């Protein structure tokens, strides 16, 4: 089970070091603090929008989760700075990760 | 430790031409040797190639094309600041005594793969640089109450200055309204806010103190170097309205040169997008936070070419591997009072700022007469 294999199934997992328990982002096989093995945790996470812009009709935003994970995601409705969001859809398409939040 | 000087340079026009990378590389090196007959190819200890091109073994290939058999030959890739990173490597070879004369040649094609950092999956489907630039622009405008029209002035100024640069990609002058009316890429970015990838090459020869004095009567010395990498991924930036790697690299370079920003007479700033120029000026200490645009406006209104005299990346074009070298050549020409219509009066100390991947990595050089 890898982050990518889970993501390709539409599941966003939290990569966490089995030794020091830090969240490792971007996901890696080994912890970049203690080199411990990284495992994946399944849990619901909420993030906050820290910036956004729009291309044509599509908003895109930078979202921060658990003070560590930051991703660029699409959002359907008009975003607000500080807005709390969850990942509603994610996966891999044409080799690229994609994320939707709402 | 020996001083390290800039003894010679060569450059090609920046264009949209479809040429082989080997040919592009060769042309600026040829220009360098033709303009500097005192340089003996046998004296060159190292040939460093700066590029993001996927072709292999380019430094030995360039060496063979130039009829040289250097001791050291290899490529250096670091996306958009490959050029100054190569210059720092050349400096290090000379300062350590491993080389006395190093040729650094940077080149890129208009379709360089270095424009997209595939590894940075945190960006999701937004891997093109216009997306981080949009986030920077939105954040900068929000934090400092800056308008799109104010940011557009960066492009207006740099296109105006590029018109005096015979090697620049752009020879057009634009108004703020032209920038505002140019194709909208996102809510926060117009096409004229962007530097354009292009085909181009720039070469420079770095030398030990003794060799510098043998080759040139107008040596320029590299007196300060600063480099900082904070991450590879865009979303790891701690701020989207300032450049931390630039702040740290600038501080290191100015400290090494024993200067303050106020001593700098002329500077090349990495304006990959309009917003990058005020952000970099502020992070380097040329102006206070949020006041970079005021400084740019004053320079524009007084026709002062102090910042980005060759037109910056926006006006001159951005052949990634050549950009940092072209910036360094511009400051060298300025300090040699050899910059034609772009000349900044009495320029004695100059600065080069070159960065990569949404300012996750920056290199700053200080140059002096």
- Average pLDDT for consecutive 10-residue bins of chain A (102 residues)? 95 97 96 97 94 98 96 97 98 96 96
The stretch B65-78 carries a mean pLDDT of 98
Does B57 map to a domain? yes
The reply to whether residue A96 touches residue B186, judged by beta carbons under 8 angstroms, is no
What is the per-residue pLDDT across B293-345, written as a single tens digit (0 to 9) for each?
999 999 999 999 999 999 999 999 999 999 999 999 999 999 999 999 999 99
What is the per-residue pLDDT across B119-171, written as a single tens digit (0 to 9) for each?
999 999 999 999 999 999 999 999 999 999 999 999 999 999 999 999 999 99
Does B66 map to a domain? yes
Nearest CA in chain A to B127: A96
Q: Among A25, A53, A73, whose Cβ lies nearest the Cβ of B138?
A: A53
Count: domains in chain B:
1
Buried b (16+ CB within 10 A) or exposed e, B110-139: bebebbebeebbbbbbbbebbbbbbbbbbb
Q: Mind telling me how many Å the CA of B236 is from chain A's nearest CA?
A: 7
Is the ipTM, as predicted for this complex, more than 0.95? Answer: yes
* Domain identity same for A29 and A50: no
Does B365 map to a domain? no
d(CA A14, CA A25): 9
Q: Among B187, B233, B235, whose Cβ lies nearest the Cβ of A53?
A: B187
Does B244 map to a domain? no
pLDDT at residue B162, as a whole number: 98
Using an 8 Å Cβ cutoff, are B162 and B171 in contact?
Answer: yes
Tell whether B122 lies on the interface with A, counting CB pairs under 8 A: yes
Count: domains in chain A:
2
* Domain identity same for A25 and A52: no
Does B147 map to a domain? no
pLDDT band for B2, please (50, 70, 90 cuts).
Answer: confident
CATH number of domain containing A72? 2.40.50.140
What is the per-residue pLDDT across B205-261, written as a single tens digit (0 to 9) for each?
999 999 999 999 999 999 999 999 999 999 999 999 999 999 999 999 999 999 999
Closest CA to B353 of B361, B343, B345: B361
* Domain identity same for A81 and A98: yes
- Cis peptide preceding A26, ω within 30 of 0: yes
* Domain identity same for A4 and A38: yes
Residue B1 above 90 pLDDT? no
* Domain identity same for A10 and A31: yes
d(CA B369, CA B353): 18
Tell whether A52 lies on the interface with B, counting CB pairs under 8 A: yes
Tell whether A78 lies on the interface with B, counting CB pairs under 8 A: no
CB-based burial label for B365 (10 Å; 0-12, 13-18, 19+): buried
The reply to whether residue B235 touches residue A72, judged by beta carbons under 8 angstroms, is yes
Which residues of chain B neighbour A53 with C-beta distances below 8 Å? Answer: 131, 134-135, 137-138, 186-189
CA distances to B4, B121, B154, B237, B254 from B246, in Å? 23, 23, 19, 12, 12
Q: How high does pLDDT run on average in chain B?
A: 97
* Domain identity same for A2 and A15: yes
Using an 8 Å Cβ cutoff, are B89 and B50 in contact?
Answer: no
Tell whether B65 lies on the interface with A, counting CB pairs under 8 A: no
CA angle A52–B120–A9, rounded 5-degree value: 90
pLDDT at residue B14, as a whole number: 98
* Domain identity same for A93 and A65: yes
Does B168 map to a domain? no
pTM recorded for the entire structure: 0.98
Query: What proportion of chain B, given as a percentage, has pLDDT over 90?
Result: 99
Closest CA to A86 of A69, A62, A63, A53: A63
Q: Mind telling me how many Å the CA of B98 is from chain A's nearest CA?
A: 34
Residue B34, token pair as written in the block: 């033709």
- Which helix or strand (DSSP H or E) is residue B130 part of? helix B129-144
Tokens 């600041």 belong to B81
* Domain identity same for A53 and A102: yes
The DSSP result for B303-360, as a single string, is T---B-TT-HHHHH---HHHHHHHHHHHHHHHHTT--GGGPPTT--EEEEEEEETTTT
Q: Domain range for residue A33?
A: 1-43
The stretch B358-365 carries a mean pLDDT of 98
* Domain identity same for A48 and A96: yes
The reply to whether residue B122 touches residue A71, judged by beta carbons under 8 angstroms, is yes
Tell whether A53 lies on the interface with B, counting CB pairs under 8 A: yes
* Domain identity same for A30 and A48: no
CATH number of domain containing B46? 3.40.47.10
Q: Domain range for residue B80?
A: 4-114+197-215
């Amino acid at each position: 089970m890898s982050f990518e294999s889970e993501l390709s199934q539409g599941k966003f997992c939290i990569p966490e070091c089995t030794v020091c328990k830090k969240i490792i982002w971007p996901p890696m096989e080994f912890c970049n603090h203690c080199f411990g093995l990284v495992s994946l945790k399944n849990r619901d996470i909420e993030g906050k929008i820290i910036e956004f812009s729009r291309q044509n009709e599509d908003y895109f935003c930078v979202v921060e989760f658990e003070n560590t994970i930051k991703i660029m995601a699409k959002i359907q409705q008009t975003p607000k700075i500080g807005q709390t969001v969850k990942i509603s859809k994610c996966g891999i398409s044409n080799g690229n990760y994609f994320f939707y939040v709402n | 430790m020996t001083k390290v000087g800039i003894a010679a340079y060569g450059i090609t026009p920046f264009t949209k031409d479809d040429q082989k990378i080997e040919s592009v590389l060769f042309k600026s090196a040829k220009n360098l040797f033709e303009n500097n007959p005192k340089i003996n190819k046998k004296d060159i200890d190292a040939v460093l190639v700066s590029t993001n091109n996927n072709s292999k073994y380019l430094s030995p290939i360039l060496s063979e094309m130039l009829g040289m058999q250097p001791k050291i030959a290899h490529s250096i890739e670091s996306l958009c600041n490959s050029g100054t990173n190569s210059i720092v490597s050349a400096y290090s070879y000379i300062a350590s005594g491993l080389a006395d004369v190093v040729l650094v040649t940077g080149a890129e094609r208009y379709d360089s793969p270095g424009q997209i950092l595939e590894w940075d999956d945190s960006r999701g489907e937004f891997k093109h640089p216009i997306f981080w630039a949009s986030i920077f622009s939105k954040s900068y405008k929000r934090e400092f109450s800056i308008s799109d029209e104010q940011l557009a002035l960066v492009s207006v100024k740099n296109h105006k200055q590029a018109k005096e640069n015979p090697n620049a990609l752009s020879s057009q002058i634009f108004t703020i309204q032209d920038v505002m009316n140019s194709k909208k890429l996102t809510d926060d970015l117009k096409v004229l806010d962007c530097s354009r990838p292009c085909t181009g090459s720039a070469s420079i020869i770095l030398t030990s103190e003794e060799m510098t004095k043998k080759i040139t009567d107008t040596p320029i010395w590299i007196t300060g170097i600063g480099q900082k990498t904070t991450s590879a991924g865009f979303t790891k930036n701690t701020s989207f309205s300032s450049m931390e790697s630039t702040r740290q690299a600038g501080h290191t370079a100015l400290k090494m040169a024993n200067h303050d920003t106020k001593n700098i007479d002329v500077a090349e700033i990495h304006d990959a997008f309009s917003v990058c120029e005020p952000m970099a000026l502020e992070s380097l200490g040329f102006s206070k936070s949020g006041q970079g645009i005021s400084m740019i406006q004053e320079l524009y209104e007084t026709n002062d070419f102090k910042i980005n005299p060759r037109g910056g990346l926006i006006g001159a074009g951005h052949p990634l591997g050549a950009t940092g070298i072209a910036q360094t050549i511009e400051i060298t020409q300025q300090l040699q009072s050899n910059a034609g219509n772009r000349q900044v009066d009495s320029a004695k100390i100059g600065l080069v700022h070159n960065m990569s991947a949404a300012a996750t990595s920056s290199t700053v050089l200080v140059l002096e007469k």
